[in-house]
Chain A
């Protein structure tokens, strides 16, 4: 199973993401934002957390226009898997791969702590390692994680079982406590919390392992 981790200027969770993917058995390459092609045979693209382009204009807005992002969109349109975490989630909404937008936290504070999340669906490559209703603890670290979308979009997300994770205690004002959502084909996941920071006992918890192992297991068998 081959994975690519995209690196933008200002990415800071790219190496953590690579470590988590490798620990779960993926063959990982790091891909610079100026590249216009993904390495051949990539099954999964991970868009990591950080502050790409200094969060200029809007979080993720400049990154979403980078050459590699066109390749990531094409990969997703071909049915490829894409995981966007934190700033990566912002990049995916800005690039149009996921609906809605991430605004400044309602309390205007940078939130940095480990939070409980409820797994809302196990019907996706990302979440099949969990049971719907499981509560997992992942760290969050963001200033702009306040998910919003218009009422029709929200209704569609709920009706199609596309909310992957919800906060047990909402840290940022996200509508409907949404922490992560899936694309219509369930192969693109964007989430603010960091599963890659919960894969080793040294992190204080390993609840994120099931996400990476489940995904990589599924892709390896494909």
Chain B
């Protein structure tokens, strides 16, 4: 089985990289981009039957830093 973990900075946490990307899009002539948030996607190849709780545990312990990041698990 596979799972995909989406990690994003929490709302309210300033994302300077997203902001730089937003500026660059404006420089390329893409108007109307009012915000960019940059995160990461982590794909996991897992033993069949791995519980969602186990994946959540992986997120809490390593994949996301919950001080500044939120995560969402997508089972594929």
The answer to whether A57 touches B62, judged by C-beta atoms less than 8 angstroms apart, is yes
Asked if A22 lies at the interface with its beta carbon under 8 angstroms from chain B, I say no
Q: B20 contacts which chain A residues (CB < 8 A)?
A: 108
The answer to whether A108 touches B62, judged by C-beta atoms less than 8 angstroms apart, is no
The answer to whether B68 touches A103, judged by C-beta atoms less than 8 angstroms apart, is yes
The answer to whether A58 touches B65, judged by C-beta atoms less than 8 angstroms apart, is yes
Q: B14 contacts which chain A residues (CB < 8 A)?
A: 103, 106, 173
Q: A105 contacts which chain B residues (CB < 8 A)?
A: 16
Asked if B47 lies at the interface with its beta carbon under 8 angstroms from chain A, I say no
Q: B17 contacts which chain A residues (CB < 8 A)?
A: 104, 108
A101-B67, A101-B68, A103-B68 known; A148 vs B62 contact (CB < 8 Å): no
Instruction: Give the number of residues in A that approach B within 8 Å (Cβ atoms).
Output: 20
**Could you tell me the distance between the alpha carbons of A57 and B62 in the complex, rounded to whole angstroms?**
9
- Main secondary structure on A side of the interface with B: loop
Q: A106 contacts which chain B residues (CB < 8 A)?
A: 14, 16
Chain B residues at the A interface, C-beta cutoff of 8 Å: 13-14, 16-17, 20, 61-63, 65, 67-68
**Could you tell me the distance between the alpha carbons of A213 and B12 in the complex, rounded to whole angstroms?**
41
Chain A residues at the B interface, C-beta cutoff of 8 Å: 57-58, 61, 65, 93-94, 99-101, 103-108, 146, 148-150, 173
Q: A103 contacts which chain B residues (CB < 8 A)?
A: 13-14, 16, 68
Q: B61 contacts which chain A residues (CB < 8 A)?
A: 65
**Could you tell me the distance between the alpha carbons of A61 and B64 in the complex, rounded to whole angstroms?**
9
**Could you tell me the distance between the alpha carbons of A108 and B14 in the complex, rounded to whole angstroms?**
12
* Given A57-B62, A99-B67, A100-B67: 10 more A-B contacts, CB < 8 Å: A65-B61, A65-B62, A101-B65, A103-B68, A104-B16, A104-B17, A107-B16, A108-B16, A148-B68, A149-B67
**Could you tell me the distance between the alpha carbons of A91 and B6 in the complex, rounded to whole angstroms?**
23
The residue in chain B whose Cβ has the minimal distance to the Cβ of A60 is: B65
The residue in chain A whose Cβ has the minimal distance to the Cβ of B67 is: A101
The answer to whether B16 touches A57, judged by C-beta atoms less than 8 angstroms apart, is no
